[in-house]
A and B are shown apart, each in its own frame.
Chain A
């Protein structure tokens, strides 16, 4: 295996959880809902994915459990903010705290156990191609899922009627409601999609990245995903660029350290944040476009009049 190939494979592993969580949150925010509970949904996905895969021996059942846990958490958020019209920011923060605590409780008996690793699913033939084969076609199913999700969200959001409805609801829920679109059902669907993606992202951590469960193992990745969505001005392709840029700079920092170049490690650890923010701010430089892409109703509650 070539050195460059190894670098790229490591970058993909580091970037995938960020991309999965961010692409889900992008859809949520496009529908006008701000869910700050990504970290909580992720960590619940991680613990449930691990628990189920450990108990059943099947990592794929673990993946399903991770998704289910994320959806469950997002439904809780949806019920509070969409049905009971609670404040989205406060509820999102509470969801993160709840997720971190609850996952610790559920996972107590699973700490320190060796997990079942989600093995790579090499695509026969294609994965034999030198260099690009292992990188593009030798990954586990969640990496393929992250690629597919970016493409699908990009297509649905900007090329279909469904996407148009979601964006309309995010931009002006009163008008969308007046036109007869169900603001609340659509938002529920988007929130659940975001929960599924966050759960999947957590599952990636406890099943593929490091097959084990440990309290708080998301380590703030949910917050990075949230920031990526904003800095990429709610565009799927930019979210992907941002996630990979972050992963790449982080991994390159480790390479520079291991090579013994002598740049302070604290600086290298902060570099991914700096580079990603600067890069995304530069490519999102067009103010008019940014304004068009920002969901105008984000974070606002909606009560349909009857």
Chain B
């Protein structure tokens, strides 16, 4: 609460300081967490810093951190719009309605909403195909695991999370058809204690590799303690587990942010939907370490194949958990099927919460 006020005050102070420089394009960001979370918000802020660096004196940026999803978000976004921001990036799924509401009032301001699906004339949406990275770490897990069991710590049963679990499993099955994934839901995006407990439980049930769709570094730290292996989430977490992290899926928004802010400057900005993957650079992988060379080589090959669209993780036919088959042979599922995924692939040792 306090930090939120401080954040708001800071953003306000920054905008006051900027009032004199009229000609500059102003790019503003709304964050759901602290910039120091070393995960989701951290990566968005890294993108903002690149915008500042690349566009130099022509641009000016501001951000508000720790903005709760809900009524607070609307206030924060409106404040930024009023303070003369030309383009506002709202970086959490829960800001969807608030972004649209404010966008209606400020027709001249461009809005960019991350991970959402509702657009307007001045509202674009953007998201990344994180599942591409998950397919690769699934392959690495299946290659390096001795027990043939991976633990997967997850937050909430939304399509993005479910498609990540499926992509991981499909990657693993492409190496070892009998590979097992054990899933534990902690019902939180960020609770180091809960994530650590879940990791301990998964290790004691036979998993020797851990991955997660929650944001803290706790599972990797537990893996390091137990002598197991794991993967980083959202950003490179190698500092927390130098001998444990094999690679990490890294969100890289900088290229997108620079191109969108430039588009505003040039007057070429249009409302659109962007869903970038490894090919666009939006999804990156941290250096492959702590694994045998042949595994790293295989992972890099898969990465190149996904990049060149030779390989799509969701290529049919895919057998669902209930035994039905989706997708035509050799053809990838369409975007809508991936964006709305609410079923498990066969072999996952869990029942999807509904």
Interface residues of A (CB under 8 A from B): 3, 6-7, 10, 13-14, 17, 97-98, 100-102, 104-105, 108, 111-114, 117, 205, 209-212, 214-215, 217, 219, 221, 250-251, 254-255, 257-260, 262, 264-266, 269
Q: If the complex has contacts A101-B1, A217-B192, are A260 and B187 also in contact, measured as CB distance less than 8 A?
A: no
Contact A265 B353 (CB under 8 A): yes
Separation of A112 and B200 alpha carbons in the complex (Å): 21
Q: If the complex has contacts A14-B197, A217-B193, A255-B205, are A212 and B1 also in contact, measured as CB distance less than 8 A?
A: no
Contact B192 A210 (CB under 8 A): yes
**Which of A3, A205, A219 counts the most chain B CB atoms within 10 A?**
A219
Q: If the complex has contacts A254-B184, A258-B182, are A101 and B3 also in contact, measured as CB distance less than 8 A?
A: yes
Chain A residues within 8 Å of B217, by CB: 112, 114, 212
Chain A residues within 8 Å of B13, by CB: none
Contact B2 A101 (CB under 8 A): yes
Main secondary structure on chain A at its contact with chain B? Answer: helix
The answer to the question of B24 belonging to the interface, with a C-beta cut-off of 8 Å to chain A, is no
Contact A114 B216 (CB under 8 A): no
Chain A residues within 8 Å of B34, by CB: 104, 108, 111, 215
- Extra A-B contacts (16), CB below 8 Å, given A102-B2, A258-B201: A7-B204, A97-B2, A101-B6, A105-B2, A111-B34, A114-B217, A114-B221, A210-B218, A211-B221, A215-B3, A215-B66, A221-B193, A251-B197, A254-B184, A260-B182, A265-B187
The answer to the question of B123 belonging to the interface, with a C-beta cut-off of 8 Å to chain A, is no
Chain B residues within 8 Å of A251, by CB: 197, 201
Separation of A209 and B193 alpha carbons in the complex (Å): 7
Chain A residues within 8 Å of B240, by CB: 114, 212
Smallest beta-carbon distance A142→chain B, Å: 14
Contact B151 A258 (CB under 8 A): yes
The answer to the question of B350 belonging to the interface, with a C-beta cut-off of 8 Å to chain A, is yes
- Residue ID in chain B nearest A269 by CB atoms: B187
Separation of A260 and B348 alpha carbons in the complex (Å): 9
Contact A108 B239 (CB under 8 A): no
Which one, A212, A258, A264, contacts B192 given CB within 8 A?
A212
Contact B37 A111 (CB under 8 A): yes
Smallest beta-carbon distance B243→chain A, Å: 12
Chain A residues within 8 Å of B6, by CB: 101, 105
The answer to the question of B190 belonging to the interface, with a C-beta cut-off of 8 Å to chain A, is yes
Interface residues of B (CB under 8 A from A): 1-3, 6, 34, 36-38, 42, 66, 151, 182-188, 190-198, 200-202, 204-205, 216-218, 221, 225, 239-240, 349-351, 353-354
Contact A260 B350 (CB under 8 A): yes
18 A-B residue pairs with Cβ-Cβ distance under 8 Å, sorted by A, are A7-B204, A17-B193, A105-B2, A105-B3, A205-B193, A210-B193, A211-B221, A212-B217, A212-B221, A215-B34, A215-B66, A219-B191, A219-B194, A221-B193, A254-B198, A255-B205, A257-B183, A258-B201
Q: If the complex has contacts A6-B200, A219-B193, are A257 and B184 also in contact, measured as CB distance less than 8 A?
A: yes
Contact B1 A100 (CB under 8 A): yes
Chain B residues within 8 Å of A250, by CB: 197
- Residue ID in chain A nearest B151 by CB atoms: A258
Smallest beta-carbon distance B161→chain A, Å: 12
Smallest beta-carbon distance A232→chain B, Å: 22
Contact A254 B1 (CB under 8 A): no
Contact A264 B353 (CB under 8 A): yes
**Which of B188, B201, B350 counts the most chain A CB atoms within 10 A?**
B201
Smallest beta-carbon distance A56→chain B, Å: 19
Contact B218 A212 (CB under 8 A): yes
Smallest beta-carbon distance B348→chain A, Å: 9
Smallest beta-carbon distance B208→chain A, Å: 14
Separation of A264 and B350 alpha carbons in the complex (Å): 10
Which one, A112, A215, A258, A264, contacts B205 given CB within 8 A?
A258
Contact B200 A10 (CB under 8 A): yes
Separation of A13 and B133 alpha carbons in the complex (Å): 33
Separation of A79 and B150 alpha carbons in the complex (Å): 53
Chain A residues within 8 Å of B191, by CB: 219
Contact A114 B239 (CB under 8 A): yes
Smallest beta-carbon distance A185→chain B, Å: 32
Separation of A209 and B202 alpha carbons in the complex (Å): 16
Contact B197 A10 (CB under 8 A): yes
Contact A257 B2 (CB under 8 A): no
